[in-house]
Amino acid sequence: MQKGKKIYEGKAKIIYETDNPDFVIQYFKDDATAFNAQKRGTVLEKGIVNNKISAKVFEYLEANNIPTHFEKMLSDREMLVKRVKIVPLEVIVRNRAAGSLCRNLGLEEGSALFCPVQEFCFKRDDLNDPLINESHIRALRLATDEALEKLKYYSFRINELMLDFFQALNLDLIDFKLEFGDCKGKIILADEISPDTCRLWEVGTGRKLDKDRFRHDLGNVEEAYQEVLKRVSGKS
């Protein structure tokens, strides 16, 4: 598979063409951002860690009938993925209160929720990815009704699967965000699954092993990401 020209560069990844129009290469950077890119920095080898963790989680989800864009890892920082048209929505699933849910609703961090909470955000950096509802999605034609139902079903099913996956690694999945894409008319999971996109707390201690260490200057960011990789890889 030949690597072609750069198609797109985002905050954490670069997408390159290949000699096959159905596939692109996703390259993971070490750049770190928070608070809608108001805070920027670098986390050493974050790209390597997130690529490897994402590959493992995508393989697990695929084995459990969740369609994803993942094809295979190409190198420490690159994976081959199906070309998709990204749905302009972020889907967030929350199992316990953290982050904006605490700020917006006055909840104590870590407090239990009666059931998982699903949220949608409009993918618009210039608007700081605002929270929207299903009526907004339909009114703005951001997704068809059929696609929206798929997003809702897949995100809750992915939550069930990932709760089990991370619990087996002695990690609590607090919340996470997902992105989906249209691949030849089929909705599939895209982007990445990593400590950048999931809040992961160590069972028992509550130690944060995710991007919050960067967001809130908690220190030991690289060590936290490497610890998640060790557990996912079965080396911890």
Q: Rg of the Cα trace of the chain?
A: 17
CATH 3.30.470.20, applies to 85-221: yes
Q: Give bridge partners of residue 173 from the DSSP assignment.
A: 200
Alpha-carbon distance 22 to 157, whole Å?
Answer: 27
Name the DSSP class of 69. Answer: S
Where do the CATH 3.30.470.20 domains begin and end in the chain? 85-221
Where do the CATH 3.30.200.20 domains begin and end in the chain? 3-82
Kindly give, in sequence order, each residue whose CB lies less than 8 Å from that of residue 161, ignoring residues fewer than 6 positions away.
Answer: 60, 61, 64, 66
Amino acid present at 11: K
- For residues 90 and 121, the answer to whether their CB atoms sit within 8 Å is yes
- For residues 16 and 28, the answer to whether their CB atoms sit within 8 Å is no
CATH class of 3-82: alpha beta
Pairing mode, strands 112-122 and 131-132: antiparallel
Tens-level pLDDT at each residue, the chain (236 residues):
799 999 999 999 999 999 999 999 999 999 999 887 788 999 999 999 999 999 999 999 999 999 999 999 999 999 999 999 999 999 999 999 999 999 999 999 999 999 999 999 999 999 999 999 999 999 999 999 999 999 999 999 999 999 999 999 999 999 999 999 999 999 999 999 999 999 999 999 999 999 999 999 999 999 999 999 999 999 76
